A and B are shown apart, each in its own frame.
Chain A
């Protein structure tokens, strides 16, 4: 496998209105590694993911996916790049008007000239991989939460991507099902050799699957290291996160008074307005 990093982020800065959400974020994901982006709510991890997926445009900074700078690509090049990466969204984001099988077959139908028989075989093959064999004719509304996540994984890997993104794979699942999703992620990496980027706040699953962890806090990379190094980190904020301690917020009397008086923050520009297209 080539030595170009799967993902390379250099000095990424981004704003929602006047508020800076990501501050000088830099990271590198090596080929074949499971890279976990961890952080509490509001740490900017979802924003970072949306940038990696090319759904948002950064204020400044460079993002290279599989060696290509995504904000400098033409529409066609971006389309080619997107066929080499898969995404499993938090909610699954299966198309509710299509059966599970049609959902999984959609990228093949849109991006390849394979005949229907081959598409059917590939679809069933991927369903086997995620242990959902025989469910292809069901509609997404007839599946349980864990099954929806599995089907989303099957759709994400149907084009055999070199890079897989997972947004909160274990959110909203019971511990047993969540753990089976972790096993699935490990199996996918071992079987297909893809790099996997997982965004999560689930500590158990992070320690189980991660090769390296990036801890994001208030839009900054607090730490980026191997699992053991993060576990033994002397940094107080990391230990707070790992031991589920709430942080004492520093008290700023002026800011407190301003909040009580209800002075508005300037947050009028909504994130949606920065989206490209529809």
Chain B
């Protein structure tokens, strides 16, 4: 049995920490540069074109609508079923709308949208950038005088920041509608009554809380995808590895950021 070498272990630990830190720094630089090009690109003769933002928005947003609709419906139904089942213990089924409305709008809609977009678009972004890197396409952009961050990162970032809140809003509406259907049938109410109740319970603040979070998730998904894509080495296998890594990292980042955001905002 090989004897464990404590100094080697320390070295590995140190290197891993340094690598993680430098990756974090790279992510921050990318975010800064993308925002810089979004705001100032026009004056530096490197405009971020509306057409490429729109193309990304189609890809990220419109193409994701069907699956987001299906999953928010399911989440809405699931919350209504669980809510009524749990509240039955206290005989308080009539209060189910409060729980469902708040959890859909504040938590579930942004979270499920974020996770879906991370799986669909974050991974696609990582794979695309990784493939471009190993094919020298990124070098080729640079030598043409086209800034790769402006051309490849800024458009999806802008599209995500606009589209994520819109998708979340859609998920809110669909989730609440599906929950309403179940609740009004189960508790023999009407949809109109349910809608009135939801509108009186929800404050603008709750809605904004969810939408603001989703915009942050959009930034996280883009940057994590790009950082992983840009760090690809080792051919096609490397692209696959980094794509997987980008999905796992993006979802972890979303869940952790969500917790921190909620903690800070509700204090």
Contact = CB atoms under 8 A, between A and B. Distances in A.
Nearest to A159: B144
Interface string A159-171: 0000000000000
Contacts of B233: 272
B138 A96 contact: no
SS class of chain B's interface: helix, strand, loop or mixed? helix
Interface stretch (B129-137, B167-175, B216-224, B253-261): B129-137
B112 interface: no
A91 B135 contact: yes
A76 B143 contact: no
Contacts of B152: 278
B144 A96 contact: no
B30 to A, nearest CB: 7
B230 A278 contact: yes
A80 B153 CA distance: 22
Contacts of A32: none
Contacts, number: 70
A277 B142 CA distance: 10
Contacts of A111: 45, 145
A110 B44 contact: no
A126 to B, nearest CB: 14
Contacts of B44: 75-76
A82 B141 CA distance: 10
A106 B131 CA distance: 19
Contact of A278 (B131, B140, B143, B153): B153
Contacts of B142: 53-55, 82, 277
Interface residues of B, number: 27
Contacts of A79: 45-46, 145
A87 B143 contact: yes
Contact of A91 (B30, B136, B149, B153): B136
A75 B150 CA distance: 13
A96 B143 contact: no
Given A75-B44, A76-B44, A82 B140 contact: no
B148 interface: yes
A82 B144 contact: yes
B131 A96 contact: yes
Contact of A87 (B135, B140, B149): B140
A81 B143 CA distance: 10
B146 A93 contact: no
A53 B143 contact: yes
Contact of A277 (B137, B140, B143, B149): B149
**What 4 pairs across the A-B complex have the smallest Cβ distances?**
A82-B145, A93-B140, A93-B136, A79-B145
Interface of A: 53-55, 75-76, 78-83, 85, 87, 89-91, 93-97, 106-107, 110-111, 272, 277-278
Given A81-B145, A111-B145, A272-B233, 10 more contacts: A76-B45, A87-B143, A90-B136, A93-B140, A95-B140, A96-B137, A278-B30, A278-B138, A278-B148, A278-B153
10 contacts: A55-B142, A82-B143, A82-B144, A89-B140, A95-B137, A97-B128, A106-B146, A107-B144, A277-B148, A278-B152
